[in-house]
Amino acid sequence: MPAFSFEKISPPVRRGPIAPIEQKQRGVIVQILDRFVERRVKRRLKAEKAEAALRSKPEK
């Protein structure tokens, strides 16, 4: 027979509404990276549209 035993402790019961999670301001580096990504995506879309226009243009 064991000399000791472990008792399972359940977490405390929460009462009331859950507090809203506060949004943190994004870091400056992340904001700069987002701008670079946006510009790259815009340039790529513009290039793809131009490429599609060239493909659909009937050749003489």
Give the pLDDT score at 2: 65
Distance CA 25, CA 38 (A): 19
Tokens found for residue 20: 């809203």
Tokens found for residue 33: 């990276």
Running DSSP on this structure, what letter comes out for residue 4?
-
Residue pLDDT, tens place only, 13-38 = 878 887 788 887 778 888 899 999 99
Give the pLDDT score at 1: 61
Under 8 Å CB-to-CB from 26, ≥6 apart: which residues? 34
Q: How many residues does the chain have?
A: 60
Tokens found for residue 26: 């994004």
Predicted TM-score of the model (pTM): 0.46
Residue pLDDT, tens place only, 36-55 = 999 999 999 999 998 888 88
